[in-house]
Amino acid sequence: MTDSSQPNSRPRLLLLIPHLGGGGAEQVTARLARGLDPQKYDLHLALITQTVDAPALAAATLPPWVTVHPLGGRRVRSSALPLLRLLRKLRPQLILSSMFHLNFLVLLLRPLLGFPVRILIRQNGTASSALAEIPRYNRLLYRLLYPRADCVLCQSAAMVRDLRDSFAVPESRLSILPNPIDFDALRSTTPAPPEVWPDTGPHLIAVGRLSHEKGFDLLLQSLTHVRQQFPSADLLIAGTGSEEAALKSLCRNLSLESAVRFPGHVADPAACFSAATLFVLSSRHEGLPNALLEAAAAGLPIVCTGASEGLVELIRQQPGIWLAPAPTAEALADTLTAALTTLEPGQRFQHAFVAPFRLKHALAEWEELIDRFLADVSTADVCAHANPARVV
How would residue 224 be classed by pLDDT, with cut points 50, 70 and 90? Answer: very high
What is residue 177's three-state secondary structure? coil
- Domain limits, the chain: 12-180+358-386, 184-355
304 φ/ψ angles, rounded to the nearest 5 degrees: -150, 160
DSSP 346: T
Q: What is the pLDDT of residues 266-280, one digit of tens each?
A: 878 888 998 999 999
CA 32 to chain centre: 12
CB 173 within 8 A of CB 136: no
Fold of the domain spanning 184-355? Rossmann fold (3.40.50)
How would residue 265 be classed by pLDDT, with cut points 50, 70 and 90? Answer: confident
290-297 and 24-35 helices, crossing angle to 10°: 60
How far apart CA 74 and CA 197 sit, in angstroms, is: 37
Evaluate whether the domain defined by 12-180+358-386 bears CATH number 3.40.50.2000. yes
What is residue 47's three-state secondary structure? strand
**Does the pLDDT of residue 381 top 50, yes or no?**
no
**Does the pLDDT of residue 220 top 60, yes or no?**
yes
- Burial group, residue 254, by CB count within 10 angstroms (0-12, 13-18, 19+): middle
Asked if domains 12-180+358-386 and 184-355 share a fold, the reply is yes
Q: For 258-295, give one letter per residue: b (16+ CB within 10 A) or e.
A: ebbbbeeebeebbbbbbbbbbbbbbbbbbbbbbbbbbb
CA-to-CA dists, residue 187 to 181, 358, 369, angstroms: 11, 13, 29
How would residue 378 be classed by pLDDT, with cut points 50, 70 and 90? Answer: very low
Average pLDDT, the chain: 88
This prediction has a pTM of: 0.86
Mean pLDDT of 207-223: 95
How would residue 377 be classed by pLDDT, with cut points 50, 70 and 90? Answer: very low
